Amino acid sequence: MTLKKYQMTLRAAYPSPALKGDLSHKGRGEGALASRNDVNLFIAFLAMTIFLFLSPLSAADKNPVPRFVSLRPSEVNARVGPGPEYPVKWIFVKAGLPVEVTAEFDTWRRIRDVEGSEGWVHQNMLCSKRRAVVCCPEALMYSEENAFSPPLVRLQQGVIIELTKCRGDWCRAQVGEYRGWIRREFLWGVYPQENVG
């Protein structure tokens, strides 16, 4: 659907010689050749089409989809579609909330939160700072990356933590003045085999 929209816009701006019907005769029998301007317009059309279709592909190589990010401001409108003309579906009211980017269109990102709510937000509403949500009823944060080290704090479900490093089964995190290690399986906001930091 998106590609058709681009194609129709470009076709209206740069009609091809066949659609335009502007052929010049060079006096060589019945044959007709397209004018130099028509050829230049066709080349411009072709170059613009290639640019429009390849630029989103190169942007996707830099930032993989899906990926986890965080909300930047404390109030973010999540829309039904990728653009300001679409109605607001949700309003996220927590700065730093981890979300998963599940799709991209131009400068818009479709995001999903820990509860599965989805919507489209502008890329300026997101930051790459990694955070996670405790997704089990209770999790312990330890001083070292093993369950035999002294526990520092008991975290309840829904607590947002800042991730600084993840390797193996453990993630180093900070919440308030506490810094320690928590098991990856207790967190939403990091993939099972993903390395962070």
Residue 53 belongs to a domain: yes
CA distance 35 to 105: 37
61 vs 179, residue with greater confidence: 179
pLDDT of residue 178: 97
Do 37 and 91 belong together in one domain? no
State the residue range of the domain holding 24: 2-62
pLDDT of residue 40: 61
Residue 105 belongs to a domain: yes
**At CB < 8 A and 24+ separation, what contacts does 113-118 make?**
114/188, 114/189, 117/78, 117/90, 118/78
**136: CATH:** 2.30.30.40
Average pLDDT, the chain: 80
Place of tokens 């093993």: 146
Give the pLDDT band (50/70/90) at residue 35: low
Task: Count structural domains, the chain.
Answer: 3
b/e burial code for range 98-119 (CB count within 10 A of at least 16 → b): bbbbeebeeebbbbbbbeeebb
Residue 193 belongs to a domain: no
Average pLDDT over residues 170-184: 97
Average pLDDT over residues 154-177: 97
pLDDT of residue 62: 75
Q: What's the pLDDT tens digit per position in 68-79? A: 999 999 999 999
Would the pTM of this model clear 0.75, i.e. be above it?
A: no
Cβ 138 vs Cβ 156: under 8 Å: yes
Average pLDDT over residues 52-73: 72
